[in-house]
Chains A and B, each alone.
Chain A
Amino acid sequence: MKRFILPLVIFLVLTGFLYKGLSLDPREVPSPLVGKAAPAFVLPLLHEPEKTFSPKDMAGKVWLLNVWASWCGACKDEHPVLMALSQQNLVPIVGLDYKDKREDGEATLRKAGDPYSLTIADADGKVGFDYGVYGVPETYVIDKQGMIAYKLIGAVTAQNLRDTILPLVAELQAK
């Protein structure tokens, strides 16, 4: 009987690791930018290209930077969640229209509704690159000092909003 214990233990440990592996997404790479200052940039607004936005404009506020695009499928999934969030007025959401045509981005917001306090246009994706964007949608939580506190790769859902993002926002706002 004893001789079966060791192989059994090894089997169970291996199975445990493999089982865990099933639920991990290899695309979710931990961002090295978390805990660092949000990269500076100046970009034109989507709706008013003659005006510009820079992260400095949000100094002293906790805000969300939501990277989206009209060509992005998962962005349509998170859109209703963002709409609901914007109506609660808990935290300003800045939209970054990533590698998109201005008219396409505008049309999407006109049709589906605009959850953003303001939207900036990153037509060539240079700012997205600075923020380590490689899959859209991505969402950053940026604190009052302009530090990236959290990065979400993939769609915002009611669940991760409730469990992770909003508690973090509340905590940062209280600081």
Chain B
Amino acid sequence: MRYLLIALLCLLPRFALAGEAKDIADDPVMEKRMILLAEKVRCLVCQSEAVSTSHSDWSNDVRQIMREKMKAGATDQEILDLLVERFGKSVLFDPPIDEETAPLWVAPFALMLLGGIGLFFKLRKRQTELTTTELSSAEAQRVSALLDDAAESAPSSKKDSQA
């Protein structure tokens, strides 16, 4: 790996001569690494698209800068930090959790918890309402009388009423 790097470094002056590198890779390994990294970065001028797939001018520039920084030996994290420093955390598709973004991460779970608690109490209240409903003996008699009536007056539906 180290020898590969040294070999790549020896090639560096040639890249410099080649001028601005286009999307076609000078170095397939680095290009792959760059694309992987660019997938994590939001294209600011196209919204909801990653820098890795965007054809916008701005994304081209960002990819070019990634290549240059990688050639200069920067780590992926250093490159992401650099972008965040310039363009804010919203350039990352997966922004870090900190004071500023915490509400966004926590809010859905907090709302779900709140809804769950509400639902729990609502259901419990309904349960107690159901169990406390009792028939007085007069009502019970009336119900059975009505049921008997129905069974006698409609023999065709006997099956249903017995069931």
A interface vs B, CB < 8 Å? 26-27, 29-33, 99, 124-125, 129-132, 134-135
A130 touches B44 (CB 8 A): no
Number of A-B contacts defined by CB within 8 Å: 37
Query: Which residues of B, 29-75, contact A by the 8 Å Cβ criterion?
Result: 44-45, 47, 57-58, 61, 65
Neighbour of A27 across the interface among B47, B65, B89, CB < 8 A:
B47
Interface of A is mostly: loop
**Tally of chain B residues near chain A (CB < 8 A):** 16
Interface of B is mostly: helix
Are the C-beta atoms of B86 and A32 separated by less than 8 Å?
yes
Tell me the minimal C-beta distance from A8 to chain B in angstroms: 17
Q: Which of these, A26, A29, A99, A124, contacts B87 with CB under 8 Å?
A: A29
**B45 touches which one: A27, A30, A31, A32 (CB < 8 A)?**
A27
17 CB contacts below 8 A, A to B, read A26-B47, A29-B44, A30-B88, A31-B88, A32-B84, A32-B85, A32-B86, A32-B87, A32-B89, A33-B86, A125-B61, A131-B86, A132-B87, A134-B44, A134-B45, A134-B87, A135-B45
User: A99: which B residues are within 8 A, CB to CB?
Assistant: 57
A29 to B61, CA, bound (A): 18
Are the C-beta atoms of A129 and B47 separated by less than 8 Å? no
Contact partners of B88 in chain A: CB under 8 A = 29-32, 132
Decide yes or no whether B90 CB sits under 8 A from chain A. Answer: yes
Q: How far is the CA of A26 from the CA of B45 in the complex (A)?
A: 9
